[in-house]
Amino acid sequence: MVIQATTRVESLSTSGIHQIPKEYIRPQEELRSITNIFDEETNKQKPQVPTVDLTDIESDDPEKRHKCSEELKKAAMEWGVMHVVNHGVSGDLIGRVKAAGEGFFGLPVEEKEKYGNDPDGGRIQGYGSKLANNASGQLEWEDYFFHLVFPEEKRDLTIWPTTPSDYTDATTEYAKQLRALATKILSALSLGLGLEEGRLEKEVGGIEELILQLKINYYPKCPQPELALGVEAHTDVSALTFILHNMVPGLQLIYDGQWVSAQCVPDSIILRIGDTLEILSNGKYKSILHRGLVNKEKVRISWAVFCEPPKEKIVLKPLPETVSEAEPPLFPPRTFQQHMEHKLFRKNKDEVMQN
């Protein structure tokens, strides 16, 4: 089977194939670590991603607030990922966001194609599938819908789905609430580094410049899940990433040198620390390597919102307060755009050397 640039993974999944095309088969050294996600989910022997209760993140009681900040800091330093509960985003709104995303991906492929993107032509927002932009020509078992959701004046509503009808309202309100949650989390993490409360938010662009981008990841059923990945191992370039999912497991993270599966915790949002905060904190906060497994029984959907600094306006480098003679800067100064380009260049270089 020839994989066209516009071949959707959903179409492959529903075509009745029993073997996946070779472009989706992972390299041999990677295959050894791909396991059955449902077995992994019930494996209590492995370390578990921490759960952090945000009830007291803005408490008037200094002791309670400090305790909450310390838990957040500990998870960010040791893991770089956590389930956050009592986060202040209502279950009703989260239900609407999920229903809207599921409704869009429930449309026929040809209907979704009306929102198709064109990364080669510079149009990255919209409906798409991973193109082979790496040296190995490797593809991932996912389709997605990607667009900027905050600030509102920077959105391009012409590419937002009109079906389901609640998509725009639900997504807009969710983005607004996540933006407020990001401020609370950045404040707590600033205190965790001994900085003033508003410092990290200021360093990533502040109220005006921090942008939120939503990527709905759609992982269709895969006839050979032991050979494929929904998303390959990577770290996020963002400052923070917030993730919802449809309670189907699949997210894995490297912890203590082994792949660990994130459990499905009801009413939680998964929070990941991205490269931006790792750089600013001089490596004290961890940007964790993660990937997505697929399965043959259930479709998995996740909603990832990336909180990113402006591409050119800010130079990312370890903050002076995080650097000392004993802890010299681990990262050279780069704009966010330069950091993204550096990662892509390094990744392609590594792949060329491996092939």
**Would you call 114 a catalytic residue per the annotation?**
no
Strands 81-85 and 51-53, by their bridges, are parallel
- 141-150 per-position pLDDT tens digit: 999 999 999 9
- Set 147, 245, 290, 317: catalytic member: 290
For residue range 278-313, what is the model confidence (pLDDT) as tens digits? 999 999 999 999 999 999 999 999 999 999 999 999
Question: 79 or 344: which carries more pLDDT confidence?
Answer: 79
Angle between helices 62-78 and 167-192 (to 10 degrees): 100
Provide the CA 175 distance to its chain's centre, in angstroms: 15
Residue 135 has a pLDDT of: 53
Average pLDDT of the residues in 104-117: 96
Q: 87, 98, 215, 317: which is the annotated catalytic residue?
A: 215
Catalytic residue among 147, 236, 245, 286: 236
pLDDT at 38: 84
> Catalytic one among 22, 114, 154, 234?
234
- The structure tokens listed for 132 are 């082979």
Window from 4-18, 49-63, 111-125, 313-327 with minimum mean pLDDT: 4-18
In this predicted structure, what is the pLDDT of residue 355? 38
Q: Active-site residue 215, yes or no?
A: yes
In a domain, 95, yes or no: yes
Query: Does residue 328 lie in a domain region?
Result: no
pLDDT tens column, 72-82: 999 999 999 99
Whether residue 153 is contained in a domain is answered as yes
Neighbours of 255 (CB within 10 A): 20
* CA contacts within 13 A on the Cβ side of 304: 22
Domain-located, residue 136: yes
Q: Is residue 146 part of a domain?
A: yes
Poorest-pLDDT segment among 91-95, 131-135, 197-201, 324-328: 131-135
Is 290 a known active-site residue? yes
Residue 4 has pLDDT above 60, yes or no: no
CA nearest neighbour of 104 among 214, 232, 178: 214
Q: CB-based contacts of 39: which residues, under 8 Å, 6+ apart?
A: none
> Could you tell me if 167 and 112 are in contact, meaning their C-beta atoms sit under 8 angstroms apart?
no
For the chain, give the percent of residues with pLDDT over 70. 94
Among residues 1, 297, 303, 7, which one has the least CA distance to residue 140? Answer: 7
Residues of the domain holding 62: 9-311
Average pLDDT over residues 37-57: 88
Instruction: Look up the CATH number of the domain holding residue 186.
Output: 2.60.120.330
The verdict on residue 116 lying in a domain is yes
329 inside domain: no
pLDDT at 46: 85
Q: Is the pLDDT of residue 5 over 60?
A: no
Match 């956590």 to its residue by tokens: 82
Residue 87 among the catalytic residues: no
Give how many domains the chain has, as a whole number.
1
Kindly report the average pLDDT of the chain as a whole number.
93
**Span 186-212, mean pLDDT?**
96
In a domain, 336, yes or no: no
Output the CA torsion 88→202→291→217 (10° steps).
Answer: 60
